[in-house]
């Protein structure tokens, strides 16, 4: 059972990390989906009514969050990273719902929340806060 839980944890955590690093890098490098350098993937951010500078903030937070989740020890920092990812993804979902987007636009955030919850639930004892 412990081996199964460890595999579930690492698969979910690595996929979550890949998703966060990939989107964080796109936000930091300001790359459009077709691969061309441009002003920061402006359509999605403008569509949601957010300021463009938020891309840099979100990109940095995502990269730092992945480092925290993957680093050994530091359970309190990990809890903050998981919480930050949860707030980030639920914020994205609510922003898309607020502008009337459909499931197609919600799917990436829903997938990342699912991976986040699985990663958090199955995290090993050494990656949890004492008493949690």
| pLDDT greater at residue 119 or residue 34 | 119
pTM of the model: 0.87
Asked if residue 109 is part of any domain, the answer here is: yes
pLDDT value of position 44: 77
pLDDT value of position 130: 81
pLDDT value of position 1: 74
Q: Which two tokens mark 72?
A: 């050994």
In whole angstroms, give the CA distance from residue 82 to residue 86.
Answer: 6
In whole angstroms, give the CA distance from residue 45 to residue 53.
Answer: 10
Q: Compute the half-sphere exposure of residue 79: CA atoms within 13 Å on the CB side of its CA.
A: 9
Asked if residue 19 is part of any domain, the answer here is: yes
Helix then strand count (H, E) for the chain reads 5, 0
The predicted model gives 4-29 an average pLDDT of: 93
Asked if residue 131 is part of any domain, the answer here is: no
| Range in 1-15, 37-51, 84-98 the model is least confident about | 37-51
- In eight-state DSSP terms, residue 127 is G
Tell me if 17 sits within 8 A of 69, measured CB to CB: yes
Identify the domain containing residue 100 by its residue range: 2-122
- What's the pLDDT tens digit per position in 21-58? 998 988 888 765 565 556 545 677 878 888 888 888 99
Total domains in the chain come to 1
């Amino acid at each position: 059972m412990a081996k199964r839980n460890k595999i579930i944890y690492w698969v979910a955590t690595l996929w979550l990390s890949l998703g966060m690093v990939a989107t964080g890098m796109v936000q930091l490098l300001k790359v459009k989906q077709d691969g061309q350098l441009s002003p920061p993937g402006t359509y999605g951010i403008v569509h949601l009514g957010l300021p463009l500078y938020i891309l840099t903030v979100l990109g940095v937070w995502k990269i730092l969050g992945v480092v925290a989740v993957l680093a050994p020890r530091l359970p309190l920092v990990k809890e903050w990273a998981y919480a930050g990812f949860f707030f980030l993804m639920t914020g994205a979902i609510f922003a898309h719902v607020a502008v009337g987007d459909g499931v197609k636009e919600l799917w990436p955030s829903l997938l990342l929340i699912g991976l986040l919850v699985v990663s958090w639930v199955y995290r090993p004892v050494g990656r949890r806060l004492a008493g949690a």
